[in-house]
Structure 1
Amino acid sequence: MSNLKLVPELYCEDIEVTKKFYTEVFGFEVKYERIEEQFVYFTLGGVDIMAEGIAGVGRRWLTGEMEKPFGRGVNFQWDVADIDDLYSRVKASAPNSIYLELETKEYQCADLVAIQKQFIVQDPDGYLFRFCCDNSGATK
């Protein structure tokens, strides 16, 4: 049986700025890159993301003009084990990227209430990443 997963590919204005942010702030490793195409494949704990500079020489699948902030209308939820550590790291290294401060929030999920800690980071190109951690288990 194969291990299927979703790997988003995000366009960015400056691949070097994106590469630095994803490795230094989020802690990703570069799995591989194609420098001439301004393409980087990142990986971290089973989460993979691709980034490509809009000025690179590769193919483009753009449905409209690219204007910052990119990714309007979408946020990527990312479940993490130690949200407090990640929040501290982001706050220390890129405090202006915090879009939503760390909070505890309840969400109705069918007949259960899920309680989670979460915060949102906006990357240099405007993509939103919502980091979440189950805070207490779902209750009825």
Structure 2
Amino acid sequence: MKYKGLVPELSVANISESKKFYLDVLGFHLEYERVEDKFAFLSLGEAQMMIEEMNGSWNTAELMYPLGRGVNFQIEMEDVEGMAAALKDQGIKLFRDVLVNHYENDDGGVMVKEILVQDPDGYLLRFSQMISVGSSL
């Protein structure tokens, strides 16, 4: 396994509940875990992240729900609408349903389909599907 240049590690309240959500609900893959440390390294496509049950080691202030205020984690995927439907079928409420956005960049811009969902600790996950400019939406 090749590690990405940036791999966020999220402090979670309950490692078992978070693993179930990421693996069973969102379809992440468990790369490895350290059970004794209540730690798991996860991937979905090219995205990588770590989750670890809160232990006080990394806390810079009191952790209160929703965690991760002010940040969202963009995760690229090929079928955002399929992910949205699967989440709804499992009774998961989307923070934001499928939306198509246009973002400017040095090449003029990109069209992106995206949804937002919160994990059990309130972290905001943005699943994004890049659409080439000029393609049918």
Q: Normalising by structure 2, report the TM-score.
A: 0.86
State whether structure 2 residue 82 is matched by structure 1 residue 85: yes
State whether structure 2 residue 121 is matched by structure 1 residue 125: yes
> What are the Cα deviations for residues 27-63 of structure 1, in whole angstroms up to 9, with x where unaligned?
11212212221111112222211101114xxx71211
Partner of 2:69: 72
Which amino acid is the alignment partner of residue 108 of structure 1? Answer: E
Aligned-pair Cα RMSD in Å = 2.1
User: Which stretch shifts more, 125-134 or 104-113?
Assistant: 104-113
Partner of 1:48: 48
Equivalent pairs counted in the alignment come to: 134
Runs of 4+ in 1 over 6 A off after TM superposition: none
Partner of 2:37: 37
Select 2:58's aligned residue among 57, 61, 67: 61
Gaps spanning 5+ residues in structure 2: where?
none
Query: Is the contact between residue 112 and residue 138 of structure 1 (CA under 8 Å) also seen in structure 2?
Result: no
Partner of 1:107: 103
> What are the Cα deviations for residues 53-74 of structure 1, in whole angstroms up to 9, with x where unaligned?
114xxx7121111111110100
Gaps spanning 5+ residues in structure 1: where?
none
Supply the distance in 2 between the matched residues of 1:49 and 1:7 (Cα, whole angstroms): 5
| Identity in percent | 37
How far off is 1:138 after superposition? 6.9
Select 1:134's aligned residue among 115, 130, 136: 130
